[in-house]
Each structure stands twice: as structure tokens, then as C-alpha cells.
Amino acid sequence: MMEKPDLLSFTREQLRDYAVSIGEKPYRGDQIFSFLSRGVRYEDMTSLSLALREKLEAETEFRLPTVLTKKRSRDGLTEKYLLSLIDGECVECVLMRHDYGTSLCISSQVGCRMGCRFCASTLAGKVRDLYPSEMLGQIIAAGNDSGERIDKLVLMGIGEPLDNYDNVVKFLRILNDKDGIGLGLRNVSLSTCGIVPGIEKLAGEGLPVTLSVSLHAYRDDVRRKIMPIAKKYPLDELLAACRLYFDRTGRRVSFEYTLIAGENDSREDAKGLCRLLREKMGVASHVNLIPLNRVEETGFSAPAPEAAERFAAILRSEGQNATVRRSMGADVDAACGQLRRSLQNKGKEL
């Protein structure tokens, strides 16, 4: 059976073509695009005729996720949503309130097949990719529920965005459309575990998002122990792709470094990381240190509370730009995949 068109995954141009294909004027496509990007249901698109609304209802699919549950951190700064998709699968997104505004971290796949050893999202593998509508839907659902405008978006939730390349790139183009959500792409960060061909391709898309690369080690042998993707793309190739991304887009690359006790948190690791980035990236990088959020099943331990600041101080003393990510919402399972995982572990009884 042919799938019904998923209109929230259509660009504005595609929606105009769709409007014409069903005998409407092109501007109807613009109207529908603008309604959909606010999450307006067909029955509430009252500037459209009743006949058109009924036709859309019958012949298309509305893939807007619904909020299954949400948890608020004790400090009120973090809101974690578990969202249900139309096939019953679920994904997470996390809304965080900062001094500079509200950011939202969204998922790009149901599960993940990348196998990073410290991550809860990959424990049951990948189920499927998300459609552009389901990524936009997370922004719409969290924005409508919280009543807040999303100022910054991070593709760092469940899934590897570059393993769902075409849908993610289309999502970014729809997101950026001024008649839709209209979020500037300089306010978007895309996080990858290091899929080299995806980084190279993204560098040529003309989409000025911040590339955020999970590095986690300065040596290939240590990195391979933490992340299977390192077996395919060694650091030399990965950093050459990052340099290309900087050269093509002018956007400084951000390197994520999760500190894991006894694995990658020594003084030697900090010094080695500086040497590597200086040699391969010059001034074009930033390091974001993330103390591990412990996940029971991984066997890895969180570093001592002062370890991240100590590590950051060594980086800065060597002239490397570095920040420590403030741990937000640990009391609401805010690390990637933990809330969905706890739902799976409880046999769907939250």
C-alpha cells in the first residue's frame, strides 16, 4: 500500500506543487506550510475551505508527535519530554532554560546503531530513522507545551544525525524557512560521532550549522574502545574532514569530550588532546567537556566532581578554548536515551 503524503516533511516549494496537484492555487501550499509549522491540525485551518480540510484529513498523514510524559528537574531549568510517534515508537527531547534563552535537544532516530559504549540510546540498537516531520514535531510539541520560543536547537538526542542524512538536511531546510519555524541555522548544532563522508557532504550543503564532533579521546586505540565508529574512521581522517568543514563554512568546530573515570581523564590525555587539535585544527576548534552521566549497563564510571575543571584548566593553559558543560537535569534522566530506556526497562509502565 502506498504511504500517504506526510505534509509536515514537505518544503514550502513541495507544498505549493502539492496544492497545484490537487487542483488548488500555489498560495494554498504556503498557507498549509505556515499552519503545519505551528502544529495547527487540519480541522483548525479555518482559512481553508471545509472540502479542502476534509481532503487533507483523508488523503495525507499528520506526523506530529504527542507528549507521552514529561519530567521537570528540581531546579525547574530542564524539561524532559518522552514523545510518542504515530507508529507507537517513542523518542526524547530536552528543553533547557539558560541565561541566553531556551535550547532544545532533539532526537534524529528511534534508537541508534553506532554503539558508543557510554550511551543508553544504543543499547537496543536502531529501530528506524525519523522523518523531517518528526524532528520538526519535537520542536512544535515542546514549544506548544512549554509556551516558550526555542532560541537554540541541538541535534544531540537519540540517534546519529549523519546516519539519517537526507531527512536531517531536509529538516534543516524546512526549519530555516522564514514562513515556517524560521530558526537561523547559526543557532543549530549538529552532533556526530564522526561519520567522515557525512561531514564532508554537509560541508557543501550551504547550511551554516555548528558541527559538534564526539571525540572522547586523542588516541585511536582509546577512541576505538569507547566508540566503534573509530574503527572505520581514524582520527587523521576525522580531523581532516573537520578542517574541511571549517574551511568551507567558516564555522568553528566544537569537539565533545565525555570524561570517563580512568579511561580518558588523565593529565596526559589533556595534553595529548591539545597537541592533536593544535596540529590538525589550528585555532578552529572548541572543546566541550562533559562529565559522564552514568548509565548502569555500560560499566563506565563518572569522574570525580572536580576532574572536569582540572582537565579544562590544563587545556586552557595550553591555549585551547574549552568549556565544561553544566550538568542539567540529572534528576530527570537527562542524558541521551535514558528516559526512553527506563520506559523499555519497565515494560512500558512509566
Is 105 among the residues known to form the active site?
no
Hey, what's the cell of 344? 523499555
Query: Among residues 107 and 133, whose Cβ is nearest to ligand SF4?
Result: 107
Hey, what's the cell of 303? 569522574
Edge-first strand order for the sheet with 253-259 is 66-72, 78-84, 90-98, 101-106, 152-155, 188-192, 210-214, 253-259, 285-291, 322-324
Query: Among residues 115 and 234, whose Cβ is nearest to ligand SF4?
Result: 115
Which member of 92, 160, 265, 269 binds ligand SF4 (CB under 6 A)? 160
Q: What is the x/- site pattern for ligand SF4, positions 166-195, by CB under 6 A?
A: ---------------------------x--
Separation of alpha carbons 339 and 246, rounded Å: 34
- 21 exposure class (CB count in 10 Å sphere: 0-12, 13-18, 19+): exposed
Contact 300, 266 (CB under 8 A): no
Is 309 among the residues known to form the active site?
no
336 lies in the binding site for ligand SF4 (CB under 6 A): yes
Query: Among residues 119 and 139, whose Cβ is nearest to ligand SF4?
Result: 119
Which member of 104, 112, 174, 335 binds ligand SF4 (CB under 6 A)? 112
Annotated catalytic residue, options 24, 92, 256, 263: 92
Choose one: 20-28, 69-77, 113-121, 178-186; the region binding ligand SF4 (CB under 6 A).
113-121
Q: What is the x/- site pattern for ligand SF4, positions 16-55, by CB under 6 A?
A: ----------------------------------------
Which member of 9, 60, 121, 176 binds ligand SF4 (CB under 6 A)? 121
Hey, what's the cell of 98? 539558560
Contact 182, 197 (CB under 8 A): no
Query: Among residues 56 and 158, whose Cβ is nearest to ligand SF4?
Result: 158
- Per residue in 80-112, is it b (16+ CB within 10 Å) or e — as a string? bbbbebbeebbbbbbbbbeeeebbbbbbbbbbb
Angstrom distances, CA of residue 333 to CA of 16, 145, 248: 42, 19, 37
Query: Among residues 122 and 210, whose Cβ is nearest to ligand SF4?
Result: 122
230 lies in the binding site for ligand SF4 (CB under 6 A): no
Which member of 116, 181, 324, 334 binds ligand SF4 (CB under 6 A)? 116
The residue ranges that bind ligand SF4 (CB under 6 A) are 112, 114-116, 119, 121-122, 158-160, 193, 336
